[in-house]
Amino acid sequence: MKNAQIADVFEQVADLLEFQGANPFRLRAYRNGARAIRDLPEPVDKLVKDEERDLTEIPGIGKDLAEKIVTLVNTGDLPMLKELCAKTPPSVLVLLRVPGLGPKKAAVLYNDLKVGSLEELRAACEAHQVRDLKGFGEKTEQKIFDGLSIASTIEERMYWATADEVAQAIVEHLRGAKGLEKIDAAGSYRRGRETIGDLDILVVSSKPDQIMDRLAKYQDVAEVIARGDTKMSVRLTGGLQVDVRVVPAESFGAALQYFTGSKAHNVVLRGRAKTKGLKINEYGVFRGEERIAGATEEEVYKTLGLPCFPPELREARREFEWADAGHLPDLVERADLRGDLHMHTTETDGKATLEEMVAAARERGLSYIAITDHSKRVSMANGLDATRLRKQWSEIDRLNARLKGFTVLKGVEVDILEKGGLDLDDDVLSEADWVVASVHYGQSQPREQITRRIVDALANPHVSAIAHPTGRLINRRKAYEVDLDAVFKAARQHGKLLELNANPARLDLDDVACAAAKGFGIPIVISSDAHSVGGLDVLRYGVLQARRGGLTKEDVANTRPWPAVKKLIGSRG
């Protein structure tokens, strides 16, 4: 099992224990353990197999949790979780999918209102029964109601980052099958969509039965849904459906193109083929009965007079327009990034020190970073006041004096206050190299009010960029109401940047908004928002999202050295 999967199990155990009223210290142990495993830069399964390593050396992992990790890695299951699920009404597990509805409130809904499904919860909200429960109220009822649409899709789609771990593991597993010649993943996963509903894998093999047998032995297969001569469908323990298709070598490229999609892209492609007297499907490109292309994607597109589109662009947005004009964008790549301008340390809610974050960034080939710990308004993260912030900046000055070929910027993530304005005075912000402003509180305010807060922040001469501009958490919290057009116009007017937060739970701005920002001429900053050393590795998810938005190296600010980024700020007003 992967780190994220083990962390998810521990989180679920904690939720079920909390529903049953278990000791708070016991709950905290599982939640801390989940965070420790999720943030761990090394794969846990490798640590388990290393006889010289002790899992209890990981902060937050004691003997009991270590034993459970070993069980999960070796068996893919945890008996304790099964026991807890058996003692817990199934409906509670459904209710816990609603954003903001924790185990305690779920227990109240179940016990007091006999709510046993999302449909019953919706009905209870519509009848205003929830607001009358102790500890709820009108605002909580509305928040629960708003979250129902997210809850209904959570089990259907997983983060791309999680799906990537699964896809890579299955592909690697299948490589061990005899007769395998080619293998590639397709579908929305290959296009880099932020969430994935299922996984398609295409294979060329002289021995299809060997492929099917090998797939059936994959450790996380919970159920074989169907098996035929050339296709097998399985469901994994986490609920994801995986379809493996064995196709002829002469059709592999056509099948890869077809099953990568998107449907809208393929509709346009079929229409173009028809105008040329051709037919295109998963078996190839045909003129009458003759197959004239199909072995590779390149030859499939070439027969239609088209370039081989990067999978991330295949959404029937502007890719055909670009192709017809002869200038398909040269999309940004992870190797293009020179710096990371949003991260946290142990001074606030980070898990690594300043020095540890610098070392990790250098190992990853970056040449500069900005340390952007929270300002004082984020009290739950031990946010910094002016005194503590200046002390940190002095430490950064001393560190920079010792560093060669690497720069640490004195930064801060300053809160945009609910009433408007910023959490720190201008005399403090003026001393910073980099200021990223963000909305953490008052996210339920009216659209006009939130928009005004952000636009005013962009007008502040000391603000460099806006972090996670819509505040969404994928599958957990909708974006707050904000007029992005007004934000884009303000960013352009004041020469400010906007962030694409690369955390897979955020990916904010999304791909469509990134494309819109490009249209306004606003450089995007791809940042990790790392809270640990391992958190720096999420940059690749941000790059993938940027590619879906059609962004090139020139569209992304931090592909430049720091002096060039600095010149961008305030230069377009």
Q: Both 124 and 140 in a single domain?
A: yes
Domain count, the chain: 4
Q: Is residue 254 part of a domain?
A: no
Same domain? For 280 and 237 the reply is no
DSSP conformation class of 534: G
Which of 151, 185, 219 finishes a domain?
151
Residues 168 and 268 in one domain: no
Residue 196 pLDDT > 90, yes or no? yes
How far is it, in rounded angstroms, from Cα 6 to Cα 35? 10
How many angstroms separate the CA atoms of 257 and 202, rounded? 11
Last residue of a domain, one of 220, 246, 272: 246
Q: Does residue 58 fall inside a structural domain?
A: yes
Residue 251 domain-assigned?
A: no
Do 381 and 426 share a domain, yes or no? yes
By the 8 A CB rule, do 474 and 194 touch?
Answer: yes
**What residues make up the domain containing 48?**
3-151
pLDDT in tens, 356-393: 999 999 999 999 999 999 999 998 889 999 999 999 99
Beta strands in 114-257 (DSSP E): 158-159, 180-185, 195-196, 198-205, 221-227, 231-236, 241-246
pLDDT of residue 153: 59
Query: Do 313 and 461 belong to one domain?
Result: no
Q: Where are the beta strands (DSSP E) in 134-239?
A: 158-159, 180-185, 195-196, 198-205, 221-227, 231-236
Pair (123, 236) in one structural domain: no
Query: What's the CATH code of the domain at 289?
Result: 3.30.210.10
Q: In this structure, how many other beta carbons lie within 10 angstroms of the beta carbon of residue 52?
A: 5
Report residue 156's pLDDT band, with 50, 70 and 90 as the boundaries.
low
> What is the overall mean pLDDT for the chain?
92
- pLDDT for position 154: 55
Could you tell me if residue 573 is inside a domain?
no
Residues 355 and 487 in one domain: yes
Neighbouring C-beta atoms of residue 511, cutoff 10 Å = 23
CA distance linking residue 249 with residue 390, whole number of Å: 63
What is the Cα–Cα distance from 285 to 343, expressed in whole angstroms?
49
Looking up residue 212, the CATH number of its domain turns out to be 3.30.460.10
CB 516 within 8 A of CB 486: no
Which of 97, 128, 151 represents a domain boundary (last residue)?
151
Average pLDDT over residues 5-26: 85
Q: What global pTM score does this model have?
A: 0.80
Asked if residue 204 belongs to a domain, the reply is yes
Identify the CATH number of the domain in which residue 442 sits.
3.20.20.140
Same domain, 514 and 470: yes
Question: Phi/psi zone of residue 528: left (φ > 0), alpha (ψ -120 to 50 degrees), beta?
Answer: alpha
User: How do residues 546-573 score in pLDDT, each as one tens digit?
Assistant: 999 999 999 999 999 999 999 999 764 4
112 and 165 share one domain: no
In a domain, 562, yes or no: yes
Residues 272 and 216 in one domain: no
Distance CA 497, CA 479 (A): 19
Task: Answer for the pair 170, 201: CB distance below 8 angstroms, yes or no.
Answer: yes
Same domain, 399 and 522: yes
DSSP strand E in 26-168: where?
Answer: 158-159
Distance CA 56, CA 70 (A): 12
**What's the pLDDT at 91?**
64
Query: 304 and 355: one domain?
Result: no
Amino acid at 1: M
